Amino acid sequence: MSILEAKEISKVYTVDHRNITVLNQVSLKVEVGEFVVITGSSGSGKTTLLTLISGLDQPSSGQVFIDQQNITGASEDDLAPFRNSIIGFVFQSYHLVPSMTALENIMFPAELLGDPNAAQKARQLLKRLGLEERADNLPSQLSGGEKQRISLCRAMINQPKLLFADEPTGNLDSENGKKMLSQLVELKTEQGATLILVTHNPEIAQASDRVLTLKDGRLSE
């Protein structure tokens, strides 16, 4: 059964009255439990694609189905709670809330769902990623790699069915990158999640079920 389906989605940005087609009728189907890697050169539209297939942004045309539900054109009021309950997103630039501690950032999506165990779950995740001692640090007091791991904890706290990770090892050296990847895959497997990950790292691509490449607005296998 598919957890995600994109049907001929396009994204056109208008800058200075000029239209730039970043994605040109891209279709994609992902099965439950799959680990799919998306690759492509800088500026090829990888982040754009992730924001569309996760419902963070709307395509210029085409449709996106998550868990058999058509999310295209849905209002942000409807989409936000839906996303928070079934989607986890590890952003390329972290998107941590600057005024919240590491622990508070991780807890936040669970608190939004009224989960009484938010703090306990957040501490468990911190511990697994070896960051217990950073619980009370603000994002400005964390290294890039630490922020990336905090962002992973936050993405996993609601046990998402669908996890998106945009260059999650981009700020890590190869040893810590490997560690983070194995932790990511471990959590994914444990929770039975589906993983869609953007990376340039050939080792990560090798560990996946399928590699898709974006080029000239098109996606190919």
Q: Is 133 exposed, middle or buried (0-12, 13-18, 19+ CB in 10 A)?
A: exposed
45 binds ligand ATP (CB under 6 A): yes
47 binds Mg ion (CB under 5 A): yes
217 binds ligand ATP (CB under 6 A): no
C-alpha span between 158 and 175 (Å, rounded) = 28
C-alpha span between 6 and 36 (Å, rounded) = 14
Among 43, 73, 130, 202, binds ligand ATP (CB under 6 A): 43
Region of 41-49, 69-77, 107-115, 130-138 interacting with ligand ATP (CB under 6 A): 41-49
40 binds ligand ATP (CB under 6 A): yes
CA dihedral sign of residues 213, 219, 220, 221: positive
Largest CA distance in the chain: 50
42 binds ligand ATP (CB under 6 A): yes
54 binds Mg ion (CB under 5 A): no
Residue 47 or 148 having the CB closest to ligand ATP: 47
Convert 135-146 to b/e letters by CB count within 10 Å (16 or more is b).
bebbbeebeebb
Q: Which of the listed partners (Mg ion, ligand ATP, none) does 13 bind, with a CB threshold of 5 to 8 Å by partner kind?
A: ligand ATP
Query: Rule CB under 6 A: which residues touch ligand ATP?
Result: 13, 15, 22, 40, 42-48, 92
